[in-house]
Structure 1
Amino acid sequence: MTAANRLAALENLDAATLCSRAETALSALVEVMNRETTFLRAGHMREATALTGEKTQLAQDYVGIARAIQRVSDRLKAEAPDRVERLRRGHEALATQMAENLRVLATARSVTEAVLSDVAKSVGATTAPKTYAAPGQPQRQAPEGIQGLSINRAL
């Protein structure tokens, strides 16, 4: 089934069914984003990353339903104004959750970069000699095996 066919099928649903599907998708998306944010705050990156597939699928589902709702919004407002208002408030809650999620992701990325940069500097730093050679110059040491660390900044 093409995206256009899925959108048309959603648009043809009665107001109660379409709003119900939107509420279910919205609730599930907010819940998974909340779990991800909680994991990120606690420093559990692997657990947060494990939610990526589920979050992506839920977001795609919600966007598809939201598009259908936008296209038939006049009909929905006439047939189910209370449900439409509830969806609007739910969408605002999603926006708030997304903003918080993005703040936590940015913080996690910043902390990760800082830690990796510090490690790279420490690993790449040469140890300066603490004594002098005969002519009064610092002794030179042979280069060590580790000369630096490569960092992939993609999070």
Structure 2
Amino acid sequence: MTAAARLAALDSLPADELCRMAEIALAALVDVMNQETTLLRAGHMRQASTLTPEKTRLAQDYVSFARSVQRQGPRLKVQAPAAVERLKAGHERLATQMAENLRVLATARMVTEDLLTDVAKIVGQQNRAKTYGRGGAITADPAASARGIAINRAL
């Protein structure tokens, strides 16, 4: 089935059914994002990363339904006004969950980066020769502090 045919099929669904399918996709996406946020807060990065494929699929599904709801907005407001209001409320929950998820991801990234930077500094200090400079103090070479350690900023 082509993309145009899928869009036409979604757009031709009865109003209640389209809204119901959008609500189901939305609830599933909010749920998986909540699971991910909970795992990240607990420090279970690997377990949280296993949810990424499902979260991606659910987000794609929801976006497809949301776009159809937008295209069919005037019809849906007439034929299923209560369902449209439920979708709006659900979308607000998604926005709240996404904001929390992003905050937790940013915190996890910052903590990880700080830990790796600290480890790199310690490793660099252990490998540095301890020599005295002209003033009688041990000279520090900050460029050598991260030798052999790379930080992956993909998180």
TM-score class, shorter: 0.7 to 0.9
Count of residues paired in the alignment: 143
- Distance, in Å, in 2 between the alignment partners of 1:138 and 1:102 is 45
Structure 1 counterpart of 2:33, which letter?
M
1:149: which partner in 2?
A: 149
1:128: which partner in 2?
A: 130
2:103: which partner in 1?
A: 103
1:53: which partner in 2?
A: 53
SS in 2 for 1:152: coil
Structure 1 counterpart of 2:91, which letter?
H
Name structure 2 gaps, 5 residues minimum.
139-145
Structure 1 counterpart of 2:16, which letter?
A
Alpha-carbon deviations, 1:98-145, whole Å to 9, x = none? 00000000000000000000001111112637xx9xxxx789xxxxxx
Kindly indicate whether the alpha-carbon contact (under 8 Å) linking 2:120 and 2:147 is maintained by their aligned counterparts in 1: no
SS in 2 for 1:118: helix
Q: How does 1:1-155 map to 2 (within 5 A)?
A: 1-125=1-125, 126=128, 128=130, 147-155=147-155
- Distance, in Å, in 2 between the alignment partners of 1:138 and 1:65 is 67
Runs of 4+ residues over 6 Å off in structure 1 = none
Task: Return the offset for 1:147.
Answer: 4.5
- Distance, in Å, in 2 between the alignment partners of 1:105 and 1:2 is 36
- Distance, in Å, in 1 between the alignment partners of 2:124 and 2:4 is 55
TM-score normalised by structure 2 residue count: 0.86
Task: Return the offset for 1:6.
Answer: 1.2
TM-score normalised by structure 1 residue count: 0.86
**Superposition RMSD on alpha carbons, in Å?**
1.9
Structure of higher CA gyration radius: 1
SS in 2 for 1:128: coil
Kindly indicate whether the alpha-carbon contact (under 8 Å) linking 1:7 and 1:67 is maintained by their aligned counterparts in 2: no
2:142: which partner in 1?
A: none
Seen in structure 2, the aligned counterparts of structure 1 residues 107 and 80 have a Cα distance that, compared at 3 Å, is same
- Distance, in Å, in 1 between the alignment partners of 2:33 and 2:9 is 27
SS in 2 for 1:23: helix
Kindly indicate whether the alpha-carbon contact (under 8 Å) linking 1:7 and 1:65 is maintained by their aligned counterparts in 2: no
